[in-house]
Chain A
Amino acid sequence: MQANATLSIVCCQLHNLWLGFSAEQISSASTSGINQKTFQLNQLLGLPPETTPARHQLSIKADNHLPDILVSSDIHLCELSLTDIHPLPPLLAARTTLPGLRALAWHQQRFILLFDARHLLAGQSQADSPA
């Protein structure tokens, strides 16, 4: 991969956090998904619920059928340069309880938490949807 390469990220907000998923993992982002099995993003991360209802439904590309992720914020597509993307600091990687947190990005003077959507949903696909 060339140094000037970019990574397309599907970004959303949860509370005051910016979160991102690699766009290659997302098959669709719609306001009315067809997948009946869904999880709120905050639930997947173990965070308090949002006060606003879900606006978008992210469908994940996977060989096995995965639930969709419900997001309460707007969805943005952004391009991160490789220099924007950083591995997790080792002490954070060792102690974080956020499932699927893979990296951090510093983009436009803010942090973006980059998640592996499949890992985030791992273990949830067999469970009944609480949403």
Chain B
Amino acid sequence: MLFNSIDFAVFLPIVFILYWFVTNRNLTLQNVLIVGASYVFYGWWDWKFLLLIVLSTIIDYFVGIGLSKEENKFKRKALLYTSVIVNLGFLGFFKYYNFFVDNFIAAFTLFGSEIQPNTLNIILPVGISFYTFQTLSYSIDVYKRNLEPTKDFIAFSAFVSFFPQLVAGPIERATNLLPQFYSKRIFDYGNSVLGIKQIVWGLFKKLVIADNCAQYANEIFSNYSQYSSATLILGAVYFSFQIYGDFSGYSDIAIGTSRLFGFNLMRNFAYPYFSRDIAEFWRRWHISLSTWFRDYLYIPLGGSRGGLKSKIRNTIIIFVVSGFWHGANWTFIVWGALNAVYFLPLLLRNKNRVNTETVAPNNIFPSLGEAANILITYVLTLLAWIFFRAKDLTEAFNYLKGIFTFNFEFEMLRIERYSIEIIPLILILLFIEWTNRKKEFPFASQEESFLKVSFLISLIILFGNYTDIQTFIYFQF
């Protein structure tokens, strides 16, 4: 079920009413409702893939119980590996099987051997990368004794399948989300109103920014060989706002929806395009994934401790793995590696923690230096997004080559639109974000008047893209 669909517009009020008016006196019943609603929400795509979630839930639940009882180191490790193998096994099979087979065959062909391809027609279950990482974090935390394992199977099932963040995050930590299922939820007016505002803000980013940008970005990337440098640059800009609006919009709707049910999820985006260096960008972009990799991969590998070599190695590993997490394609690996190349000079000069506060907190405009740094960081991410969006590496390099032909002509696209038409909407987004950059999200205060929120809803109704509904990009990851 998509957040931007009529189905969800009907589903959400029904679940909300049942949650607060029917099951509100019994915590277990409320959790059962969440599990049921989450399974309906997920099964709306394909009920068969529910089996994966159920299986992952059962295995990790019993692994947790086992870890709490077991003191033998070897047996504890065996239990942890069971969880890791099952979860990464699902992920590996559904997401990466064909990629590895294809590359294996290509490698053998390169050395003169012929192998018959044995790829499978595998459909990627929606959101598999998100819920497998979430359940993995539970097993690892219990193994490390950072978390008491739960004995409440319903609460654990609700934690794994919680519908607002099931298919595209934020990837929650068991330490934050799981305890919220144990305690009685009391309806909070302020938090619910914030939830509505955050949902509206998320819908604005998705329907007005991302889906409109998508039309232009898709057209330009699909026919890049026919367009001028200026249009190709705009194509990359549109994609950068498409992916930002799409993914951060989803996160806002997810966090806002959770607030309606009395839950607080972690923040996933913090105005990443106002970052002054690439390290700051990665502290502000997809925070739940970056911190997941930091805690469960980077630090266990040794982090920034150790010598220069291990620092460089760990950084490259985390960025490449993070790229590969996004998809089984060399384009994502190069995207990750490119970000590592951007990041390493900062790390090696110990400058990766220079910009940790909000930019120009007490001024209307940034200083010239800050503005230049923001622009440079944005251009670096823009170049990397070309790899992220391209179908393959050849397309990415040809697209870049097209940009460097220096033909600055703004032209009409084949979709009968001028290539610059969407820019005013992007400027509205940037203006709203810039003027509210100290807040968690632009309407995150009780004082916001009805008029501002209604104005935003009006923009969604008037400028939202409803003719060509785009699914959320991150569903495929």
- Are both chains from one complex? no
Chain B contact residues, CB within 8 Å of chain A: none
Chain A contact residues, CB within 8 Å of chain B: none
